[in-house]
Amino acid sequence: MSIFPAHRNHPIYWAFVLHRLSGLALALFLPVHLYVLSLAIGDGGKLDEFLDWTANPWVKAAEVTLVVLLALHMAGGLRVLALEFLPWRDNQKTLAAFAGATALGFGVLYLLNVV
């Protein structure tokens, strides 16, 4: 059975899938992120060695992707909270689009500042 049958091919279902996948990616990234920060123990020399590596354009591209995923998960999560805790509104697809736009906006802002 496909996990994407025709009746699920809907913007809000895709918003759900993106929310899950972005959350999963962030959960896998988080231990690595925290480990790298702990390299600052002492004078931060080891952290600087790592930060030099992040000057690589491929690493910057990965950073932009992570920023987009983080912003997407936050904005998508606010959409879920609004859906569950605020009175029903008919513009659910607009809220999902706003979440996507927010994520891309943060990605562009980060990209413009990191290069």
Partner 1 sequence: MSGRLEVWLFAAQRLSAMILAPLVLLHLATMIYAVQDGLSAAEILGRTRGSVFWGGLYALFIAAASVHGAIGLRAVLREWTPLRGAGVVAMAFCVAILALGWRAVAAIT
- Other CB atoms within a 10 A radius of the CB of residue 100 amount to 20
Interior CA angle at 85 toward 80 and 91, to 5°?
60
**Contact code string over 47-66 relative to partner 1, x by CB under 8 A:** xx--x--xx-----------
**Site for partner 1, residues 86 to 105, rule: CB under 8 A:** none
Count of Cβ atoms closer than 10 Å to residue 2 Cβ: 6
Binding residue for partner 1 (CB under 8 A) from 38, 58, 87, 88?
Answer: 38
Rounded Cα distance between 105 and 68, Å, is 8
Q: Does 26 bind partner 1 (CB under 8 A)?
A: yes
Tokens of 65: 């992707």
Residues that bind partner 1 (CB under 8 A): 3, 20, 23-24, 26-27, 30-31, 34-35, 37-41, 43-45, 47-48, 51, 54-55, 67, 70-71, 73-74, 77-78, 80-81, 84-85, 106, 109-110, 113-114
